[in-house]
C-alpha cells in the first residue's frame, strides 16, 4: 500500500520529531540519489537535485512512519504467526551460550565473538557476497561498511557505541559493488528497518539473505561520550575497548580503565532510543548479546528456520562451541522494561 508522503513529510513527521533512528534506509530508497547522510548526523535532501515530484519512496521505506510497536506483519513474514503476549523478547526457537573457536576472533571481539564467527562462516562458505557491518574511524565513531573478506570483517569486530546509517550501504553494496546476496549485522532498530523494507517488498531488500541482530538496551551520543572520555584526560584514538556492565560505562585505554556510572550518562542517550521497544532484535534470524552469559561468551537467541539451519552448520563446521544457559530471566526483564517504557510515551 502506497502512502502519501515525500521527503518533506519524512522531515516533519520523523526526523524533526527526534524519531529517526539513523538507519539510512531512506538514502538507499531514493531512486534519484537525492538524500545524503548530513554532517549533522541526519538524512538531508540535496535540493539542487530535484523536488521529488510524484515520489514517495523514502517516506514509504521509513520504519518510523509506521510507529514503533510490535509489528505482526513482520512476525508473519518471518515466523508465519503473530507474537504471543508471553513472548516478551520475540519469537524464538532456542537460547544458548556460545563462543567462537577462532583464536584471532576471540582476541578482538566484544564478547564471545559469535557475530564475527557467523560473518566469517557466511563469507567462507560463500553463502553471501558481502556483509553490512559497523566499523569505526580512528576516534571510535561508528562507520557503516560492506565487507567482503576476513580482514575487513575482523576490522569491524567489537562494540562501538552510537550508531551509523548501515542501510545506506544497501545501495552501495548492490549497485556500486554489484553484490547480489548480503547479510546485515545491526542493532534492533536497524534489523527492524531492514525487515520493514522486506515486508514492503522494496527492490533492494531482495538482496538481504541473513539478518543478524545485536541486543541493545540503549545507545549513547558519540559527541557526549567522546567529550566525557576526553575530559578525563584520555584520547579517543588511544581507546582499546568500551563496554557497559555492572551499572557503568567502561573505557579501556592501554591497561587503564575509566568507569562512568550509568546515572551520569542519562543525557547521552539519543532521543530516538526513548521510543524503542526492542531489546533483543526481535526480527533477526539470530540475535546476539552478552547479558545472561559468562564473561567471554555470547548469549544467542535462535529465531527463524534459516537462523537455526545456519547456527547448526556453524557448530558442525567447528566455528563455534555452545553451552546451556540456565537462567535467562534477565533478558525477559529488560525486554519487558523496554516494552513498558514505550507504552507510557505518546508521540
Ligand atoms: C550500541 C550497542 C548497545 C548494546 N547493548 C547491549 C546490551 O544492553 N546488552 C547486551 O547483552 N548486549 C548489548 N550489545 C551487544 C554487545 O555489545 C555485542 O555486540 C554482542 O554481545 C556481540 O558480541 P560478539 O563478541 O559476538 O561481537 P563481535 O564478534 O565483536 O562483532 C561485533 C559486531 O557488532 C557490530 N557493531 C559494532 N558496533 C555497532 C554499532 N554501533 N551499530 C551496529 N553494529 C555494530 C559490528 O558490525 C560487528 O560485526 C550492544 C551493542 C551495541 C553496538
Ligand atoms: S528511513 Fe531511517 S534514516 Fe531515514 S528518516 Fe526513517 S529512520 Fe531516519
Ligand atoms: S525523490 Fe523520492 S525518495 Fe528521493 S528524496 Fe524525493 S521523495 Fe524522497
Ligand atoms: S535503543 Fe533501540 S533505537 Fe536506540 S540504538 Fe538501541 S535499538 Fe536502536
Query: Are residues 279 and 262 part of one domain?
Result: no
Provide the domain limits for residue 29. Answer: 7-61
Q: How many domains are there within the chain?
A: 3
CATH number at residue 41: 3.30.70.20
Query: Are residues 260 and 274 part of one domain?
Result: no
Alpha carbon 282 to chain centroid, angstroms: 11
The beta strand positions in the chain, using DSSP E, are 35-37, 43-45, 94-100, 130-136, 142-147, 182-186, 208-214, 241-245, 248-253, 256-261, 286-289, 298-302, 320-324
Residue 68 banded pLDDT, cuts 50, 70, 90: low
Query: Are residues 213 and 114 part of one domain?
Result: yes
The alpha carbon torsion through 30, 195, 182, 212 (nearest 10 deg) reads 140
* CA–CA distance, 16 with 6 (Å, rounded to integer): 14
Q: Ligand 3 — pocket residues by CB below 6 A?
A: 6-7, 29-30, 32, 34-35, 45, 52, 55, 57-58
Confirm whether 45 is domain-assigned. yes
Domain finish residue from 210, 244, 266: 266
Task: Enumerate the β-bridge partners of residue 321.
Answer: 99
- Cell numbers given for 262: 550509568
Query: Are residues 322 and 309 part of one domain?
Result: yes
Query: Are residues 257 and 174 part of one domain?
Result: no
Task: Provide the whole-model pTM.
Answer: 0.97
Confirm whether 47 is domain-assigned. yes
Query: Are residues 146 and 17 part of one domain?
Result: no
Give the residue with greater pLDDT, 26 vs 275.
Answer: 26
Q: What is the pLDDT of residue 2?
A: 47
Query: Are residues 201 and 189 part of one domain?
Result: yes
Residue whose CA lies nearest to ligand 4 atom number 3:
273
Confirm whether 279 is domain-assigned. yes
* CA–CA distance, 284 with 84 (Å, rounded to integer): 17
Judged by DSSP in three states, 334 sits in: helix
Q: What value does the mean pLDDT of the chain take?
A: 93
Distance 218 CA to ligand 4 centre (A): 5
Residue 290 banded pLDDT, cuts 50, 70, 90: very high
Query: Are residues 131 and 43 part of one domain?
Result: no
Q: Is the pLDDT of residue 22 over 80?
A: yes
Confirm whether 109 is domain-assigned. yes
Q: Which residues contact 322 (CB under 8 A, 6 or more apart)?
A: 96, 97, 98, 300, 315
Ligand nearest to the CA of 53: 3
Q: What is the pLDDT of residue 95?
A: 96
Lowest average pLDDT, out of 41-55, 186-200, 277-291, goes to 41-55
* CA–CA distance, 190 with 95 (Å, rounded to integer): 22
Residue whose CA lies nearest to ligand 3 atom number 1:
52
Query: Are residues 236 and 87 part of one domain?
Result: no
* Residues 20 and 43 sit within 8 Å (Cβ to Cβ): yes
Confirm whether 286 is domain-assigned. yes
Judged by DSSP in three states, 187 sits in: coil
Ligand nearest to the CA of 334: 1
Confirm whether 246 is domain-assigned. yes
Confirm whether 66 is domain-assigned. no
Q: What is the pLDDT of residue 342?
A: 74
Query: Are residues 277 and 131 part of one domain?
Result: yes
Query: Are residues 111 and 19 part of one domain?
Result: no
Query: Are residues 119 and 35 part of one domain?
Result: no
CATH number at residue 227: 3.10.450.750
Distance 13 CA to ligand 2 centre (A): 11
Residue whose CA lies nearest to ligand 2 atom number 7:
20
Confirm whether 118 is domain-assigned. yes
Residue 67 banded pLDDT, cuts 50, 70, 90: low
Amino acid at each position: 500500500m502506497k502512502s502519501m508522503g515525500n521527503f518533506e513529510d519524512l522531515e516533519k513527521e520523523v526526523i524533526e520529531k527526534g524519531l529517526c533512528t539513523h538507519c539510512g534506509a531512506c538514502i538507499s530508497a531514493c531512486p534519484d540519489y537525492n538524500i545524503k547522510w548530513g554532517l549533522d548526523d541526519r538524512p538531508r535532501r540535496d535540493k539542487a537535485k530535484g523536488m521529488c515530484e510524484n515520489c514517495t519512496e523514502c517516506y514509504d521505506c521509513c520504519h518510523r512512519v509506521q510507529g514503533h510497536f510490535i509489528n505482526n506483519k513482520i512476525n508473519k513474514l518471518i515466523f508465519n504467526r503473530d507474537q504471543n503476549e508471553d513472548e516478551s523478547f520475540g519469537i524464538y526457537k532456542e537460547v544458548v551460550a556460545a563462543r567462537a573457536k577462532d583464536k584471532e576472533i576471540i582476541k578482538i571481539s566484544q564478547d564471545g565473538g559469535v557475530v564475527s564467527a557467523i560473518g566469517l562462516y557466511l563469507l567462507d562458505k560463500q553463502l553471501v557476497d558481502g556483509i553490512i557491518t559497523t566499523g569505526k574511524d580512528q576516534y571510535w565513531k561508528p562507520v557503516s561498511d560492506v565487507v567482503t573478506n576476513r580482514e575487513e570483517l575482523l576490522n569491524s569486530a567489537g562494540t562501538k557505541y552510537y550508531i551509523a546509517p548501515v542501510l545506506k550501504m544497501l545501495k552501495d553494496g548492490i549497485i556500486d559493488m554489484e553484490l547480489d546476496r548480503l547479510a546485515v549485522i545491526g542493532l534492533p532498530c536497524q534489523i527492524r528497518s531492514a525487515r520493514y523494507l522486506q515486508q514492503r517488498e522494496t527492490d533492494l531488500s531482495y538482496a538481504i539473505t541473513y539478518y543478524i541482530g545485536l541486543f541493545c538496551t540503549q545507545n549513547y551520543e558519540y559527541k557526549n561520550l567522546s567529550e566525557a572520555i576526553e575530559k578525563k584526560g584520555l584520547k579517543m584514538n588511544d581507546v582499546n575497548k568500551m563496554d557497559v556492565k555492572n551499572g557503568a560505562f567502561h573505557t579501556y585505554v592501554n591497561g587503564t580503565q575509566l568507569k562512568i556510572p550509568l546515572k551520569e550518562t542519562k543525557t547521552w542517550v539519543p532521543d530516538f532510543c526513548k521510543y524503542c521497544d526492542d531489546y533483543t532484535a526481535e526480527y533477526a534470524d539470530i540475535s546476539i548479546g552478552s547479558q545472561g552469559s559468562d564473561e567471554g561468551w555470547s548469549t544467542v537467541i535462535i529465531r527463524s528456520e534459516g537462523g537455526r539451519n545456519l547456527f547448526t552448520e556453524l557448530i558442525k563446521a567447528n566455528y563455534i562451541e555452545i553451552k546451556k544457559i540456565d537462567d535467562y530471566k534477565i533478558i525477559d526483564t529488560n525486554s519487558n522494561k523496554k516494552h513498558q517504557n514505550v507504552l507510557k510515551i505518546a508521540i
